[in-house]
Amino acid sequence: MAWRALFLGLCALTACGPRPVPPPPSAPRVTTAAQLIPADLDVVVRLDMAHMKAALGELTPELLSREVLARTSGDSSEEPDELIVTSLLDAELVYLGYRPSPELLPLDRVLALQGSFEPLVRAPSGFSAPIDLGADLRYWDKQPGKQPLSRSGAARLYTVGERVRAFVSEAELDSVERALDGRAGPWRLEAPEEGSLSLAVRPRRLARLVRGSLGELLGEAKTLDVVLELASDGAKLKLSLITAEPEQAARLASAAQLALSRALGERAKRVELDVVGERLSLSLRASRAELGALFACVKSKPTSATECAW
């Protein structure tokens, strides 16, 4: 009887005691910089820095990095962050996801870099102490400074060991957290993994900048991918647009042909347009001289389209 009472007492103590602590959730698994681009951004750009540096030999790597940073900043008066510049210098692949303004300039953004980076043994200047999320993933929050952080400024820095760095603006913090939790959503844009530069765009954003029937058709399209392949003798541009139905693709091809004729003149004859079902494809080759003229035009920020050859 005593043994039975003791056994029942032990059972009661076990039942009433603290429950075992469940294991912690698994750490986010991040293997590429592209995984940190959230689903709510309407433009995603992929830049192969090695290809760009080889093709644009007249630019030093630092100048190229500063050009990339200048083009991805929504505030032209903001001084470039030296940590971002040095990170771009060490990057092999650059991914930029952003929410564009009506002029397609970045507002909210995520700049994710993949390469071989120096380990951060201490908090970068202006950032807090690191928060360790496990699996070699850490983040640092930007500390308040004398000047308010711009909308496109880096409010948080993520690192994955020495392989990945990502600079996230304030409005995208929650979206990146959802992406890390595996809740990015199936509608996340992914730039093609090819070419020196590629991008994916939600066409409705471009439709706001184009008037007439071409703008209306772009607003109804589903996805738009662009790939630029740079070589020593020039470049090749490929564009692929998915529409809702084959008839829409055919109408868009006609409208695009007319727009290209007006914009390029005789050069429009070198543009190859092809329609297969719901897909419209466009390809164009440019010589190195034409590419240099285009790059000079972009750098000079012309006030009208007539100031450039393209």
Q: What angle do CA 201, 96, 238 make, to 5 degrees?
A: 45
Residue 32, both tokens: 């590429």
pLDDT of 297: 54
- C-alpha closest to that of 135 among 30, 207, 236, 206: 30
Give CA separation, 46 vs 81, 129, 239, in Å: 20, 30, 15
The pLDDT tens digits for 137-182 are 999 999 987 778 888 889 999 999 999 999 999 999 999 999 888 7
3-state SS class at 41? coil
pLDDT of 42: 92
- CB neighbourhood size of 47 (10 A): 25
Percent of the residues in the chain that have a pLDDT greater than 70, as a whole number: 74
Q: Is 109 exposed, middle or buried (0-12, 13-18, 19+ CB in 10 A)?
A: buried
Instruction: Measure the CA–CA gap between 266 and 156, rounded to whole angstroms.
Output: 48
The pLDDT tens digits for 208-237 are 777 676 777 778 788 899 999 987 777 889
pLDDT of 175: 94
pLDDT of 268: 80
Give CA separation, 166 vs 157, 211, 272, in Å: 6, 36, 37
pLDDT of 151: 87
Instruction: Measure the CA–CA gap between 308 and 310, rounded to whole angstroms.
Output: 5
pLDDT of 10: 44
pTM comes to: 0.80
* Low-confidence spans in the chain with pLDDT less than 70: 1-27, 56-80, 184, 211, 213, 288, 290-310
3-state SS class at 43? strand
pLDDT of 95: 96
pLDDT of 165: 96
Give CA separation, 132 vs 28, 135, 138, 288, in Å: 11, 9, 5, 47
